[in-house]
Amino acid sequence: MTPITLSKSDAVGVKTDAVVIGVVKLGGGVALPAGTESLNAAYGGKLVEVLSGLGATGKTGEVTKVPGPKPGKSATLIAVGLGAAPDGELKTEDLRTAAGTGVRATKASQSVAFALPTPDADCVRAVAEGALLGRYAFTAYKSGDAADGAPGAITVLTDLARNKDAKAALERAQVTAEAVVQVRDWVNTPPSDLNPVGFAADAVRLGKEFGVKVEVLDEKALVKGGYGGILGVGQGSANPPRLVRLSYTPRKPVTHLAFVGKGITFDSGGLSLKTSTGMVSMKSDMAGAAAVIGATLAIARLELPVQVTTYAAMAENMPSGSAARPSDVLTMYGGKTVEVLNTDAEGRLVLGDALVRASEDAPDLIIDVATLTGACVVALGTKVAGAFANTDSARDRVVDAAVAAGESMWPLPIPAEMLDKLKSHSKVADLANITGEPWGGALAAAAFLGDFVADGIDWVHLDVAGPAFNDGGASGYTPSGGTGYAVRTLVELAASAS
């Protein structure tokens, strides 16, 4: 991971390859935020004029590069647009995005100092997270000179460098960013190199490293336990399924959270085969499981006083002579039966098993994370997750955590009629895995999952099919490919509970 430190050094004299500052949009021009006074003086008090002359407008994500005030001796100045701040205050997400944009404007091997506004510890954390996440690149399969070598150091310039809260904020930023990076790496790894067995082994290895207990149910244990959903989805693949359970139990926990993640390491659609273009990004169908594992490890590393029990349901959904057929009936963990009318609606099947098992632990709140439906992407686009819940209070807690973490999320309903349609659509089982209607797919999937949560337990379902994987270009601190979405929300939820 990129080394990062806090420093009270002046932005003019700091030894680094580049200095990143912010530029605020103000009326028809730009203005410099607090903390850039010395830099402005180094340019003879005309830095705003210099930036304006180069076309800077302060628009969010805009980058303007300026030679250092002492040619050949000082760092390159990178001015990043912060947008407008009508109330005079910048949001932490603005700073996080600016830091990511600034670091992406440099080479990975260059050292960078950030002279962005840091009036409090939350702003310090936002700048650090944005810088660390913005520097991410997946180079495991690149050859030759594709990788730039060792990452250059990052320095956050702040008057709070010796402040206890700021130091704690930096630690949290580092730990959380490392968890997000691990999740991105998992999601970006080709499915030929990340199947359920290997994915589970990674969880075991990291659990040992960070003091988290990890148990793995293999195919024999799944058969013995009656996990019909996970087995049904995985039976068509040469790579057998797994159910991974992670547990972190601190002394005197203030609450008990259960995380459940969808871990389909590749989704072909099964016999209900996807189109060829529809399969291209389906290595990312395990992003939910990756996120809940990553978040659990981060919470343990931060020693937050919250008990966490996590279930990652892993399978590969493939067509073959042994694959589940449309009209097959699966007996789920706990005894409920499901008629599979579309084998491409498989995520809800593995999650159903895991939700029943998670309910047996009697947590205070269950949160599942899943790249579950294309319908949610149609409704909310590619950058916003859908939040469903069985209680408004539980949903609001998670959405509030997402807002604080800088991850976009929007509440969606679970109409009672959706569960009725799932039950009535099967003539032979307790319920079908689809309603048979072309609309409301995300709502129907949520209704299906909710039927596997025990009565009396608060539950929130996050459909992250849009924001978990970025098919477009990088922006801010978000790269192309796996994004690590939901890790920061889950860590924030745990931190706010403590």
Q: Hey, which residues are catalytic here?
A: 274, 348
Residue-level pLDDT at 146? 55
CB atoms within 10 A of CB 253: 17
* CA 285/CA 289 separation, integer angstroms: 9
Range 150-167 average pLDDT: 95
Statement: the pTM of the whole predicted model exceeds 0.95: yes
- pLDDT at residue 320 is higher than 60: yes
| 147 pLDDT above the threshold of 60 | no
Output the six-digit token pair for 460. 């929130």
Q: How confident is the model at residue 98 (pLDDT cuts 50, 70, 90)?
A: very high
| pLDDT tens by residue, 189-201 | 999 999 999 999 9
Query: Terminal CA-to-CA distance of the chain, rounded, Å?
Result: 27
> For residue 54, what pLDDT band results from cuts at 50, 70 and 90?
very high
How does pLDDT run across 349-395, given as a tens digit for each residue?
999 999 999 999 999 999 999 999 999 999 999 999 999 999 999 99
* DSSP letters for 268-299: --TTSPPPHHHHTTGGGGGHHHHHHHHHHHHH
Q: What is the mean pLDDT of residues 126-135?
A: 98
Residue 69 binned pLDDT confidence (cut-offs 50, 70, 90): confident
89 pLDDT band, cuts 50/70/90, is: confident
pLDDT band at 21 (very low <50, low <70, confident <90, very high): very high
Rounded CA separation 57/157 (Å): 24
Q: Are 460 and 367 in contact (CB under 8 A)?
A: yes
> What local confidence, expressed as pLDDT, does residue 34 receive?
84
Question: pLDDT at residue 45 above 70?
Answer: yes
Residue 473 half-sphere exposure, CB side, CA atoms within 13 Å? 3
Indicate whether 27 pLDDT > 90. Answer: no
The pLDDT value recorded for residue 84 is 85
Determine what percent of the chain is predicted with pLDDT higher than 90.
93
Supply angle C-alpha 121, 126, 130, rounded to 5: 150
Q: What digits encode the pLDDT tens for the residues 400-456?
A: 999 999 999 999 999 999 999 999 999 999 999 999 999 999 999 999 999 999 999
Res 348 pLDDT > 90: yes
Residue ranges of E strands in 73-230: 76-84, 112-114, 154-157, 213-217
pLDDT band at 498 (very low <50, low <70, confident <90, very high): confident
pLDDT of residue 279 exceeding 90, the answer is yes
Average pLDDT of the chain, as a whole number: 96
- Tell me: pLDDT of 319 over 60: yes
**pLDDT, position 148:** 53
**Residue 90's pLDDT is what?**
82
pLDDT confidence bin for 205, thresholds 50/70/90 = very high
For residue 143, the model assigns a pLDDT of: 87
pLDDT classification of 305: cutoffs 50, 70, 90: very high
pLDDT band at 73 (very low <50, low <70, confident <90, very high): low
Residues 6+ apart with CB under 8 A from 387: 395, 398, 399, 402, 409, 410, 411, 412, 460, 461, 462
Backbone torsions φ then ψ of 122, nearest 5 degrees: -60, -35
| Paired strand residues for 409 | 385
Res 316 pLDDT > 90: yes
